[in-house]
Structure formats: structure tokens, C-alpha cells
Amino acid sequence: PAQALRGRGPRNAGPTLGARLFAARSRFQGLNAVAEEAVPQAAKPEAVGSAGPQEPVLRRCELPVPAPRRPVQAWVESLRGYEQERVGLAELHPEVFSTAPRLDILHQVAIWQRNFKRISYAKTKTRAEVQGGGRKPWPQKGSGRSRHGSIRSPIWRGGGIAHGPRGPTSYYYMLPMKVRVQGLKVALTVKLAQDDLHIVDSLELPTSDPQYLTELARYRHWGDSVLLVDLAYENMPQNIVAATTGLKTFNLIPAVGLNVYSMLKHQTLVLTLQTLAFLEEKLLWHDSRYTPLYPFRLPYRDFP
Amino acid sequence: MAALSASGVTRRGLAWVVLGAPRREFWSRFRKEKKPLVPETVEEVKEKPILVCPPLRSRTYIPPEDLQSRVESCVREIFGSSVPSSWQDVSLEDGHLKFGLLSRLADDLGHAVPNSRLHQMCRVRDVLDFYNVPIHDRSKFDELIASNLPPNLKITWGY
């Protein structure tokens, strides 16, 4: 069982990154061929309502599922028609979509995302930096007034600030990579558990009208804000790009842009099947990896 | 310079006078050809199917009286005739059968199993238990208002 869990590591002489991605893509071309056959049928006006019984799009988990746990499931929907809500059934890996609901990790990661980019530029002048105030205003004794050394001390009006913000301060800190990965897994789990996750075969729309997308979301009770996730920036369908650029609450991001803050900000999350495979592979690799001997930004042979 | 420009202008003027009428006819032919093209493209755009949103559904679900017989008939349709008398214990391991049964029941009853509970549907008995539970779309406040309250408790919804 331990060997089944430990999928890969830096020492495994497995296939290279490119070969694995190609294999995953070809497997999905097999699945998407079924969905793509449906597209020209749905484009004809007479076949919109009567799609007929088609092969369901069934998706299995590629990565091994540890023995006592069983995959979680979700409907595969389609954006091509209002009524196409149950096109297939997808199996989701339990380690990603059914982990412990660690709300503390979600909080940590969301606060980190807000703060690590923050640089506050607030700066005030101290008594040394305020112009003037080098001379003792009146002699120490004899004038009857209280004793002072300079007119720019903090107790004076117009004086410097004693403990104010000092210069650009950076709030940069990094959480461990595994904590950030766990945060993503917990966020996906929470979205699925609260019925806010929808799997779609692909993000192809029949029109580029933003109103179609809003009405679809309204009909399917998705919520006010929807986060659509495609696999890569290059191959996004034109219709969905045009529809989402016009809308404020419907946002389209590539899979590498998925983050906990956006998932919590939007009410619904919509993933494609390719994105699902990508996320599962990337997030599960960290469960069974060796500690890095050199930073991951330098090339590794089997980095996913 | 001035002489050259003057000659150029006069030449152009003569050319304009000479070719004025035939040039107008020349361009008018192109203009006439362009006009009939425009309404054709407009008609092609209108021929595309207009997608109409179906009426919004409410999330209320009340289990029908004959739920058990409906589920049994769906099970017999999907699984074929090889279903034992204990049809409630039939397992839904196979993806095709599970999808077929659940989508048929969802279309039939207008209420689908949500994603979070799909993995709990292992046997037909679980599906039956799920569909036996009624679902109301009312908020908690509406339920409280509708229920029997003691006379000294008032609920006001001030928004």
C-alpha cells in the first residue's frame, strides 16, 4: 500500500514531462471526441431540442486511489444548451476533493494571498527629519516656561512623530509549499461539499452573448458569481472569452491561475475535464515527493 | 514650378471633364453591385437558432405517491430483466448504469442528486431514500412564520 501511494519522486526513472502530458491529452481526446461529436449535432437548429440518447461522458481517476477511500463523483455538464445538465459522470480523486475541511488552512492561505504582495508606502518624519528644531528654544532655567530642547520634539505641535510608520514596509512571507497545496485541496473539497462545484466537458458556448451565460447560470441556480477555469490561455474558445470580458461577476482564468482567494470570492466554480486532470496531477504529486535538493524553479526530470 | 503645377491642374481638369460621365457610370456599377449583397448577409444572421431560456424552476420537491413503483420501473428499464426481486440492493458501481438510472430519475421527477451526495449513492436503496425526502425552497424565517408560534412571539421581516 505504501508503494501504491508513493507514485513518483526525483529518483524514479519514469517518462518525461512531455510524454506524460501527451498521454493525458490523447486520453482526453478520446473522451472529448464523444463530446465533440455532439457539437455539430447541436449546432443544427432541428437537433437542439432532440439530442437523443448519447453516450455518457464517464471520467475515471487516472492517479491511483488509496485502497480504503473511494472516489467522489460529480455530474459532467455542458454549456452548449440550457437543458444539458447531465452529460456524464466524473470521478474525482478523494485526496483532492474530499480531504479534511481544514478551515484554518483556508484562512492562512487566503490571508497570505492578500498580504504577501502588500507593500505599505506610509512614512512619517521623526523629530530628526522635520525641518528645523536644532536649537534650544529658550534657556533651561529662568523663563518660567517648561523646559524644552527643540521645537520639533513629538510633544510639540508641528513636531515629528515618535512611533509612526517608517518607510515602505513589506509584508512578504511565504507559507510552505505543502500548506499552499493543501489550501487548494481544501478549497476544492469545500466547493464540492457545498454543491458549488460544477464539471463541464468544455467551455464552448453556442453564442458569444453574455446574456446567454447569465441566463444559464440563473436557470441552473449557480449563484451570483462564477469562476470558470480552462486549461491553458492559448486554446480558450472565442465565445466564452467574449462573453466573460463583458461580465463583471463571471471570470475566466487558466488552470495555473486557480487560487484559494478567488475560489472563496466567487460563489460557483466551473472546471473542465482537462483542468480536472491537470489539477489532480499537480496537487497529488506533492503528497509523495521527496524534499527538494535544489529549488523547484530549476529543471527537474519528473516535475509535473 | 508654378508653370508645371498650372499645367498639371489644367491637365487634371481636362481629364475630369473628359472622363466625368463615364467615370460616374463606372463607379455606379460597383455601387449597384454592393447594395444587393448587404440584405443577404442580414438574412443569414437571422436564420441562426435563437436560444430561449426555459422558465426558471423552483427547488421545491415533493416526493410523489408512486415513487417506489417509478424507481422500480426505471431500475428494470436500465438494468434489463436480470434484476432480482430484491431490486433495492442492486449496486450502482458501473458508471453507465449509475448515470443512466440517476439521469432518468432526475428527468422524470425534476430533481437531481447534487454533486456532494453522488458518491453516497451506492445502491438503489440510497437513491430511494434520497428521493423520499421532500425539499422546500423557503428560508428559515418563512418556515418559522408559517409554523405554530406561541402568541407572545412575533417575527417581523423589516427589509
Which residue type, as a one-letter code, is found at position A81? Answer: G
Q: How far is B146 from chain A (nearest CA, A)?
A: 25
CA distance A245 to A251: 8
- Check residue A5 and give its pLDDT: 43
**Rounded to 5 degrees, what are φ and ψ at A225?**
-125, 135
pLDDT at A18 > cutoff 80: no
**pLDDT of amino acid A27:** 46
Residue A21 pLDDT more than 60? no
Per-residue DSSP letter, A304:
-
Coil, strand, or helix at residue A35?
Answer: helix
- Residue A8's CB is within 10 A of a number of other CB atoms, namely 17
How far does Cα B68 stand from its chain's mean position? 31
Q: Is the CB of residue A234 less than 8 Å from the CB of residue A254?
A: no
Cα separations (Å) of A289 from A296, B113, B139?
12, 37, 47
Across the strands, what pairs with A269? A197, A227
Q: How confident is the model at residue A180 (pLDDT cuts 50, 70, 90)?
A: very high
B116 at A interface, C-beta within 8 A: yes
- The terminus-to-terminus CA distance of chain A in angstroms comes to 23
Q: What percent of chain A has pLDDT over 90?
A: 78
**Local confidence band at A244 (pLDDT 50, 70, 90 cut-offs):** very high
Q: What is the pLDDT of residue A34?
A: 42
Asked if residue A276 lies in contact with residue A59, where contact means CB atoms within 8 angstroms, the answer is: yes
Closest listed residue to residue A188, CA positions, set A81, A248, A102, A118: A102
Contacts of A257 (CB under 8 A, 6+ apart): A229
Residues 6+ apart with CB under 8 A from A103: A186
**pLDDT reported for residue B88:** 85
- Percent of chain A past pLDDT 70, that is, above it, reads 83
For residues A153 and B154, the model is more confident at A153
Position A35 confidence tier, pLDDT thresholds 50, 70, 90: very low
Q: What is the ipTM of this complex?
A: 0.72
Q: How far apart are CA A53 and CA A47, in angstroms?
A: 12
Count of residues making up chain A: 304
Mean of the pLDDT values across residues A241-263? 96
- Report CB contact under 8 Å: B118, A193: no
Nearest neighbour of A192 by CB, restricted to B59, B96, B115: B115
- CA–CA separation, A175 and A259 (whole Å): 14
Does residue A23 carry a pLDDT above 50? no
d(CA A27, CA A62): 10
Q: What is the mean pLDDT of residues A86-104?
A: 95
Q: What is the structure's pLDDT at A33? A: 40
Cβ contact A245:A168 at 8 Å? no
DSSP H or E stretch at residue A230? strand A226-230
pLDDT over threshold 90, residue A284: yes
| Among A8, A106, A18, CA closest to A63 | A8
**Interface contact A219-B53, CB threshold 8 A:** yes
SS3 B114: coil
The number of beta carbons lying within 10 Å of the beta carbon of residue B130 is 17
Mean pLDDT of A239-256: 96
* Integer Cα distance of B110 and B133 in angstroms: 14
The residues, any chain, with a CB within 8 Å of residue A132's CB and separated by 6 or more, are: A151, A152
Using the beta-carbon criterion (under 8 Å), do B119 and A75 form an inter-chain contact?
no
pTM: 0.76
**Which pLDDT value is given to residue A204?**
94
Hey, is the C-beta of B119 within 8 angstroms of any chain A C-beta?
yes
CA of B8, closest CA in chain A: separation in Å? 53
Residue A40, pLDDT score? 39
Cross-strand pairs, B123? B91
Chain B residues in contact with A198 by the CB 8 A cut-off are 115
With contacts defined as CB-CB under 8 Å, which chain B residues touch A218? Answer: 53, 56
* Low-confidence residues in chain B, pLDDT < 70: 1-49, 159
pLDDT of residue B155: 82
In whole angstroms, give the CA distance from residue A161 to residue A174: 32
Q: Please tell me the predicted confidence (pLDDT) of residue A3.
A: 46
Instruction: Residue B114: list chain A partners with CB under 8 A.
Output: 195
